[in-house]
């Protein structure tokens, strides 16, 4: 059995990574250049407008991904909701037994939970 001929390999071209085969600059490099010119806090909208003036059309997702790859866009950090206590409970929602008993006493004094809520709402407006 004869071996099949090896597939022809493509010749490596002489143009650099930043150059376009037709003599211009590729879009990714144009985006990076525009971002460098506009500064660190640049938005895709600004880059699209700047490149449109030069006759280069790019999409917003293309600009965003190129900027992120170039280090211009940070990834969003996950926000922290509230400070956590030593047991992992959130201090903002932590209610002790003493607080519950005091709230029950207030509701009993005022006649109902609804009356206690109204009183607390008025108190927050005054504070």
User: What pLDDT sits at residue 59?
Assistant: 92
Q: Which residues in the chain come in under a pLDDT of 50?
A: 14-19
Other beta carbons within 10 angstroms of residue 95's beta carbon come to 8
Is the overall model pTM greater than 0.75, yes or no?
no
User: What pLDDT sits at residue 96?
Assistant: 86
CB hemisphere CA count around 61 (13 angstroms): 0
> What are the distances in angstroms from CA 109 to CA 8, 102, 115, 119, 126?
92, 10, 10, 12, 21
For the CA atoms of 84, 88, 93, 99, the dihedral, rounded to the nearest 10 degrees, stands at: -110
CB hemisphere CA count around 127 (13 angstroms): 6
User: What pLDDT sits at residue 111?
Assistant: 92
């Amino acid at each position: 059995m004869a071996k099949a001929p090896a597939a022809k390999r493509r010749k490596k071209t002489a143009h650099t990574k930043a150059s376009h085969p037709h003599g211009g600059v590729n879009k990714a490099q144009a985006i990076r250049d525009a971002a460098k010119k506009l500064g660190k806090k640049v938005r895709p909208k600004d880059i699209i407008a700047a490149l449109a003036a030069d006759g280069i059309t790019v999409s917003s997702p293309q600009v965003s991904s190129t900027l992120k790859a170039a280090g211009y866009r940070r990834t969003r950090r996950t926000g922290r909701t509230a400070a956590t206590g030593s047991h992992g409970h959130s201090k903002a929602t932590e209610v002790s037994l003493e607080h519950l008993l005091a709230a029950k006493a207030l509701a009993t004094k005022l006649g109902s939970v609804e009356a206690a809520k109204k009183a607390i709402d008025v108190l927050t407006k005054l504070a």
